[in-house]
Structure 1
Amino acid sequence: MSITVASKKYHEKMFPGYRSSFLETDPEFIERFDNFAFDEVVNQDDLDDKTRFMAILATLLGCQGMDEFRAMLPAAMNFGVTPVEVKEIVYQAVDYLGIGRVFPFLKITNEVLAEQGVELPLPGQATTTTENRLEAGEKAQMDIMGDGMRGFWKSGPEESRHINTWLTDNCFGDYYTRTGLTYQQREMITFCFLSAQGGCEPQLTSHAGANMRIGNDKAFLIKVISQCIPYIGYPRCLNALHCVNEAEKKV
């Protein structure tokens, strides 16, 4: 078996002192997977390790990769993703995946943080109240997506207008306004949630455009997509690339 030196070094940074049992049971697979994921892919571009692992965690939430999320969370922390940032990624996932899919990940996160000696609960990151979350959410929408989002919360047919209101006061007012992550980081993880779960191409195209608008340009998004290929495969990543190309035409 010939696992490259670069792959071995990266794996050791992720999991110091750990030797996978797959080396014994599935040596040919591990040779090809590790050499691809931990050498070829990570050395494809200049995306920093912390951003890479934030994208990986968000992607694993999106594709429901619970076992891999549990394995990669300590590795993400080894590369500088803080407990607060981890929690913010998980919290924001509720808006795009729903609590039914996020609940197991919240439990896993708490278990891993406890194993790492992190005291819970973490310091609060909320900046809004019940009274101002709608106003703050609208401002966040406009900051990210442009002035065209002004008044979005009261737009649309009367029978479904409440959903637009919830998008403003709940999705943006409750979550995007929190500290712990920047707008750029929040839009990047949203892009990962949407690309990993599939079937959300209209929303993925919209958020690809939002990413570009706030500084996560096309080249950056392609780097993110590339780093996620080992975790969600080619079809969803190619769909994401198509959405980026479509969004670029509209920005």
Structure 2
Amino acid sequence: MAITEFAKKYHNKMFPERQSSLQETDPEFVERFDNFAFDEVVRQDDLDDKTRFMAILAALIGCQGSDEFRVMLPAALNFGVKPEEVKEIVYQAVAYLGIGRAFPFLKITNEVFQKLGIALPLPPQATTTTENRREAGTQAQVDIFGENMRDFWKSGPEESRHINCWLADNCFGDYYTRKGLDYRQREMITFCFLAAQGGCEPQLTSHAAANMKIGNDKSYLIKIISQCLPYIGYPRSLNALQCVNNAIKNK
């Protein structure tokens, strides 16, 4: 068995003129992984390369794959993911993983950008202010999940109501309202964050439903899961697929 021509060409497009040291130390592994991830998986569906790499970056943050993220970030740029889109993926990860798990990826992104000569900071993308972030966040929730979210920010027991408010003003008002990514892209990367980190099946089911509500249908989500599988493994990929099916049943 040898690395296929398709896998070689795809790898060369990701990493022009780069030879992995693993080809010397682990040739059998590289052969099987490259043929699977860069041939069989890529040719499984018609997902465009840019979306594929946005999903991969989000999944790698979700599963804490920092070393692979560092490797795949330049490849994502080579396939058309814009620097501001990368930054928006990393920023939004804070809402779903916390700064403790997202901070290493912000550092890696800055290091890679500086090495590639991408000037920092990037142009501002915020569209909200301290005064209107809650209202704008609520509107984003309504746009994505439905009118039932209009008063969600002030619902629930008094002792925990502030968390529902934070979901509106921080998670959605501070992040989803930013430029750089649209709602469909933001819900797709959220789906990847949740699927990759595992243990978030209720939220993953909810965001699978939200994805489908705004146009990322079941077929699309299966494509996303399929392209992330080499990076997050089978158990979490199968769990994500089950959450998609559960979202359809609940609907």
1:146 alignment counterpart: 146
User: In the TM superposition, what is the alpha-carbon distance from 1:131 to its structure 2 partner?
Assistant: 0.3
Q: Look up the SS of the partner of 2:120 in the other structure.
A: coil
Per the alignment, residue 249 of structure 1 pairs with 249
| Corresponding position of 1:9 | 9
- TM-score between both structures, scaled by the size of structure 1: 0.99
TM normalised by structure 2 equals 0.99
TM-superposed deviation, 1:65: 0.2
Letter in 2 for 1:51: T
Q: Hey, which bits of structure 1, 4+ residues long, moved more than 4 A?
A: none
Q: SS at 1:46's partner residue?
A: coil
| 1:189 and 2:175 are equivalent in the alignment | no
Is the counterpart of residue 87 in structure 1 residue 95 in structure 2? no
Equivalence for 2:213 = 213
**2:31 matched residue in structure 1:** 31
> CA separation in 2, counterparts of 1:67 and 1:225?
21
Whole-Å separation in 1 of the counterparts to 2:114 and 2:230: 28
Query: For 1:100-139, what aligned pairs fall within 5 Å after superposition?
Result: 100-139=100-139
Q: Tell me the secondary structure at the aligned position of residue 130 of structure 1.
A: coil
Structure 2 residue matching 1:43: 3-state secondary structure: helix
3-state SS of the aligned residue for 1:84? helix
1:250 deviates by 2.7
Deviations 1:170-197 (A, max 9, x none): 0000000000000000000000000000
CA distance in 2, matches of 1:110, 1:87: 9
Q: Please say if 1:75 is aligned against 2:72.
A: no
The superposition leaves residues 93-135 of structure 1 with CA deviations (integer Å, 9 ceiling, x where unpaired) of 0000000001110000000011111100000000000000000
Distance in structure 2 (CA, Å) of the matches to 1:142 and 1:195: 23
In the other structure, the counterpart of 1:158 is 158
Hey, what's the Cα distance between the residues in 2 that align with 1:113 and 1:125? 18
**Structure 1: which amino acid aligns with 2:211?**
N
Instruction: Give, in angstroms, the shift of residue 248 of structure 1.
Output: 1.1
For 2:200, the equivalent position in structure 1 comes to: 200
Aligned mates of 2:175, 2:2 — CA distance in 1: 45
Aligned residues with identical type, % of pairs: 78
Q: Distance in 2 between matches of 1:215 and 1:18?
A: 38
Tell me, which stretches of 5 or more residues in structure 1 are unaligned?
A: none
State the partner residue of 1:46.
46
Equivalent residue letter for 2:146:
G
Could you tell me how far apart the structure 1 residues matched to 2:250 and 2:220 are? 17
Amino acid of the structure 1 residue aligned with 2:184: Q
One-letter amino acid of the counterpart of residue 31, structure 2 = E
Structure 2 runs not aligned, ≥5 long: none
Please give the secondary structure, in 1, of the residue aligned with 2:160.
helix
Listed one character per residue, the Cα deviations across residues 34-64 of structure 1 (whole Å, up to 9, x for unaligned) are: 0000000000000000000000000000000
Provide the C-alpha distance between the structure 2 equivalents of 1:143 and 1:249, rounded to a whole number of angstroms. 22
Partner of 1:96: 96
**C-alpha distance in 2, partners of 1:96/1:83?**
21
Query: Structure 1 CA distance, aligned partners of 2:116 and 2:153?
Result: 41
The one-letter code of the counterpart of 2:144 is I
Mapped to 2, the partners of 1:58 and 1:142 lie a distance apart of 24
- Number of equivalenced pairs: 251
Number of the residue aligned with 2:222:
222
Local SS of the residue matching 1:109: helix
